[in-house]
Amino acid sequence: MTMENPQVRGWIDAKTAAERLGVKPATLYAYVSRGVLRRKHAPDGRRSLFDAAQVEELARRGKPRRPPGPGELAIESAITALGADRPFYRGRDALAMAETRTFEDAATWLWTGRDEDPGAWRAREDGVAAAVAAQSGLPAGLLPLDRLQLIVTALAATDPLRHHLDPEGVTATGRALVAGLIEALPPAGGTPGTGRVAERLWGRLCPHPPEPGGLPRAFEAAMILLADHELAASTVAVRVAASVRADPYAVVASGLGVLSGPLHGGASYGAERLIAEVADPASASRALGERLRAGERVPGFGHGVYKSGDGRGTLLMDLIRSAAPGHERLAAAEAVLDEAARRRLPPPNIDFALATLGAVAGLVPGAGEAIFAVARTAGWLAHALEEYGRRGPLRPRAVYVGPPPS
């Protein structure tokens, strides 16, 4: 039986329903034929109307899943559902969580599905010392994500409990791992934070101490919004690693390697560089025009899931606007948005909002990738926990198209 939202009643036309669901009008009629939506004819007999409450429920729940097609791998999971414009963590609206909860709350919810004390998030001192020492020969100016890939390996080498794959062991490792990833990063110049996870990460990525509310709240909201996103490319790699019982550190290392790609977590760095090129709002046209003329993909725009707009990016941009009205770097980002709309580019996504946060807060280069990586560690470990509870390894099969074996 369909659960109806009592705040949404009546019937709406096809255009309104399609926009709310982020689908083409033809898809609405496919939903009707499959029994997913109810339809009736308008009194004039020329239009179709759709049950508004049912459309709203479908938008919140996500598009009905079809059977996997060629080249697709279907994995059952109870962690994250993708709605029309946002993810839901174990049934909870990630955007609502981002406005009111801490990153520790969100991670604990992803790992356990329970509202409970998130516990102490402390790194192993010997692990942090080893990770800091391992970075001693690295070149100056290395981006934070490159450091994180080395740090996770050093943390693993010093943890004798890393092979404990029971739920309590994995969540304890997760708290220490996230704290270690942060504490082993070099401070950005200010005093490293000692409070919540988001405050500590701020101190490693921003040379200025956080002020109460404002941008630090947007920073923590970004971490919650990025904590998981169903079976993104890095999460598939993580689940494959966990399915063969790789330890949590190896699982996170697998995710970090995939996350660095410019079509995944690395997209925020591309958007960061785009905004940096816009010295003043008038130069936004040139910055976008040069990329489009060269046939390049404009980073920070469009999304493979949210065709009508990424609600995560919308919320994060609103938090930044509220925290820093009139900021010159925000004005540059707004100019890029205006120019992108004028050129009919797809809507902006969370990568663009993350780059805007970095520009307005004065974060170090590549900070968006680091926020993404540390935050997504929570989701990766939630997926690892599911795989540890299964019996066998994930084994995708290839469709061989090469020469006949001889």
Residues with catalytic function: 303, 351
Category of 402 on φ-ψ map: left (φ > 0), alpha (ψ -120 to 50) or beta: beta
Dihedral-angle region of residue 286 (phi above 0 means left; psi in -120 to 50 means alpha; beta otherwise): alpha
The SS3 of residue 231 is: coil
Which two three-digit tokens encode residue 134? Answer: 């391992």
53: which 2 tokens? Answer: 């409450």
Q: In whole angstroms, how far apart are CA 366 and each of 127, 141, 179?
A: 24, 10, 19
The distance in angstroms from the start CA to the end CA of the chain is: 56
What one-character DSSP code corresponds to residue 392?
S
Dihedral sign computed on CA atoms, order 274, 280, 284, 287: negative
Residue 127 belongs to what H/E stretch?
helix 125-134
DSSP string for residues in 63-106 = PPPPPP-TT------SSEEE-SSSEEETTEEHHHHHHH--HHHH
Between β-strands 80-82 and 87-89, what pairing exists: parallel, antiparallel or unpaired?
antiparallel
Count of other CB atoms within 10 angstroms of residue 345: 17
